[in-house]
Structure 1
Amino acid sequence: MKFFVDADTGDSISGWVVLDNPSATPSFIVQIPGRAETRFDANVVRPDIRDVGMSATDRVGFNLNVEHVADLPELADVTILEAGRGLPIYRRFTSEDKIEKRFYLFDAAVIPQQHIYEAIEKRFALAYRSCERYGLETIISLLTNPTSESMFAAGKLGHRYDYFLTQKNFIRAALLREPHEDLAERLLLLSLAVKTRKESVIQQYFPQGEQLLDFVRDLSLDNPRQLRAAFGDLPERQRDALLSPVTRTLACDFGEPPREMHIATALDNLATLDLVGTREHFGLFKDLLSEIAGVDLLGDCEISAFGQVRELAETLKKISAVADLIHEDLALYALVTNAIEEGRQNVEQNQ
């Protein structure tokens, strides 16, 4: 999907959207706090978009005006979404809390910390979670959207997007997690999806998840002996789906499995970011992010930990086959943790 917002004149907001299917006509949702949603189809003919080959139809433009929302000129908070995906493409957001900056958070967790995301999102006009779920053109359109300098994006974007993030002056941060805990959460999510017969939702959490449904279907996650046997006899396809997901994202090309040589590449790519932290050092991460952003984004937020995740993680730490699966992520995490500890000790010694 590609889109552009031409203007917000107060009494109208206009632009265009080209969907992944270039023959399709886009529809839109208008969200205003405290009101029911308003829906409308593309209502402006844009032959210029069709003539340059971006769309097979010229009905891709939109003009939201007082005919749709009578008091549009007076509203301080209006969001326009592409209806098919519910993807925000523009938001008029006038608030004293709004930050005119762009912030990207690399977060490899399959289940984000909801309260942390909400604390950040309320300070930005536009917010996008799990950006990796969208196609290449859609992600680029989101990141390079010139009509909003107040934007928060989060997810597991690969290094190929670094160019767009740096070109648009994003504050770029990464919050890493102990790899055994990350794997434990993935397994618990898969197990829950199987038990509740909601396997179809797995794809939205992590792309390789569907390949692992059979792996967890008859697996008792609280049985160490069964876990050890299962990980020791993983089929190649399922093994590949579990290999060091953070290193894979940060250093590997599409379809390439993570290897030892990718650890240094992943570390180098992390080193280009404005801030790299871990959940174990979340307090330090919060303080440094506040300094970089010039505002306290996270307030009194703390990491929420589920006992079941930690218990399973402790079991996984005792299985050598698991260590082989996530070897690169374990090495990367150790390097980052050591660097954070050394940096903190140096600061304390110089105080």
Structure 2
Amino acid sequence: MRFFIDYDNGHSIRGWIVPDNQLATSRVMISAEGRRLAEVAASVVDPTFQKNGWHATGQCIFVVTEAEVPGLSVLERLEMYDADTNVLIHRRTPGEGEIQMRACLINTGIEPETTLQSVLFPHFRRSYFGIQRMSDEILTSIFLNPERSLLLSGAVVIPRYENFLTPDLMITALLVPDPYIEMATRMYWLRARADDAVDPARSWRLGVLAEAAAFAKDYDFTDTKSLKRFFNMLPEPAYRLLYNPLTRQLGTRMPEDRLHPGNSIAAIEVLSRVGIVGHKTRFNAFAQTLFHQLYLDVPPPELPNPSTAVQDLAELLRNIKPVEEMLVFDVAISDAVKDIVDKHWNT
């Protein structure tokens, strides 16, 4: 899917959506203050979409006016979504206090980073979270949109989209996790989905990780001997999920790419080009730096601590030899970032 908003002059909104199905007619859903107001189908044909090979008929342009949405001109808070994918297409908000910058929080963990998202969301006109789950075409459309007040967040593979993340286009920020805490979090993430993995009606949601989730159910994460057996018997999908995930995100272009020692060097080079880099154990320094870059005068939020179970598992993992070998690249990056933050952060 591709999309673009040509204008919103208050009395009317015009834009286009090219759906994945070239024979389909796109539809937008309009809401305000949580109330669904209307659904409008594309009605204008533009042969350019046909010539580009994007759509079979070219009927991709929609126009929303007072006829479709009575009181359109006085709606200060309006949202427009693609009816088929539920992707945000346009948001109209009062301009007071809006950050006129583009920012991308590059998540590095398997669990979404919600602490900073919650603080920043009210200050941006358009926000997209979990961008790693979006198709390449949708994400590219978002990157190419000229909207100045834009917040993105997700575990995107950086080399694949780095040309959209340059300093002249966007403020980028990345928080490096403790590798052992992250591995423990991923292991419990698998364990939490074990029941879904063995249910034929739900296992499809996990894709290739279904086998890994089912595997995790049979081991005691509080026992060192059980953990050693766990790492000796790891199925391939579980190994890929746990093996140097930060280096994979920074140093490869596609999720299925094989990870080699050379990728660790590429990962460090990519990390050096990220605008703001911090460490989860130094969260306050990272948050203050990010807010300063965004000219946002709010106190840094508190980052929730990992659960006791995750912390205890992480401590056990630090003393298991196969784990040390699986995290050697990520540990090197983590230690380097902590050293740099400690050296240059004085507050």
Q: CA deviation at 1:201?
A: 4.6
Residue type of the partner of 2:155?
A: K
Aligned counterpart, 2:73: 73
Q: Once the 2 structures are TM-superposed, how far is the Cα of residue 37 of structure 1 from its aligned partner?
A: 4.9
Query: Can you list the C-alpha shifts for 1:8-65, whole angstroms capped at 9, x where unaligned?
Result: 1211111111122222222222121142353233233333322332112322221111
What amino acid is the match of 1:132? Q
Pair 1:217–1:37, CA change in 2 (3 A): farther
Counterpart for residue 272 of structure 1: 273
Aligned partners of 2:72, 2:332: CA distance in 1, in Å? Answer: 54
Q: Partners of 2:317 and 2:232 in 1: how far apart?
A: 12
Alignment pair present for 1:318 and 2:319: yes
Note closer, same or farther for the CA distance 1:168–1:42 as it changes in structure 2 (3 Å cut). Answer: farther
Mapped to 1, the partners of 2:237 and 2:110 lie a distance apart of 20
| SS in structure 1 at match of 2:284 | helix
Offset at residue 202 of structure 1 (A): 4.1
> Does 1:149 pair with 2:156?
no
Distance 1:18 1:281 in 2: 43
1:216 matched residue in structure 2: 216
The structural deviation recorded for 1:311 is 1.8
Comparing 319-328 with 69-78, greater Cα deviation is found at 319-328
Whole-angstrom CA distance in 2 between matches of 1:216 and 1:41: 46
Contact kept, 8 Å, 1:190 with 1:202, in 2: the verdict is no
Is 1:48 equivalent to 2:43 in the alignment?
A: no
User: What is the alpha-carbon distance in structure 2 between the residues aligned to residue 126 and residue 259 of structure 1?
Assistant: 37
Unpaired runs of at least 5, structure 1: none
Matches of residues 157-306 of structure 1 in structure 2 within 5 Å? 157=156, 158-166=158-166, 169-195=169-195, 199-202=203-206, 209-254=209-254, 255-296=256-297, 299-305=299-305, 306=307
TM-score by length of 2: 0.91
Percent of residue pairs identical? 26
Q: Distance in 2 between matches of 1:226 and 1:183?
A: 16
CA distance in 1, matches of 2:57, 2:223: 57
After superposing on structure 2, the runs of 4+ consecutive aligned residues of structure 1 that deviate more than 3 Å are 195-203, 208-211, 235-238
For the structure 1 residues 19 and 232, does the alpha-carbon distance in structure 2 shift closer, same or farther, using more than 3 Å as the test?
same
2-side partners of 1:156 and 1:266: how far apart?
15
For 2:108, the equivalent position in structure 1 comes to 108
C-alpha displacement of 1:113: 3.3
Gaps spanning 5+ residues in structure 2: where? none
63 and 243 in structure 1: CA distance in 2 versus 1, 3 angstrom threshold: same
CA distance in 1, matches of 2:83, 2:224: 46
**8 Å contact kept, 1:240–1:257:** no
Kindly indicate whether the alpha-carbon contact (under 8 Å) linking 2:32 and 2:77 is maintained by their aligned counterparts in 1: yes
Between 223-232 and 102-111, report the one with greater CA deviation: 223-232
2:19 corresponds to 1:23:
no
* d(CA) in 2 for partners of 1:245, 1:131: 17
Q: 1:326 to 1:83 in 2, by over 3 A?
A: farther
- Checking the alignment, whether the CA contact within 8 Å between 1:263 and 1:331 is kept in structure 2 is no
Q: Deviations over 1:308-333 (max 9, x none)?
A: 22122122222211222222111111
Aligned residues: 340
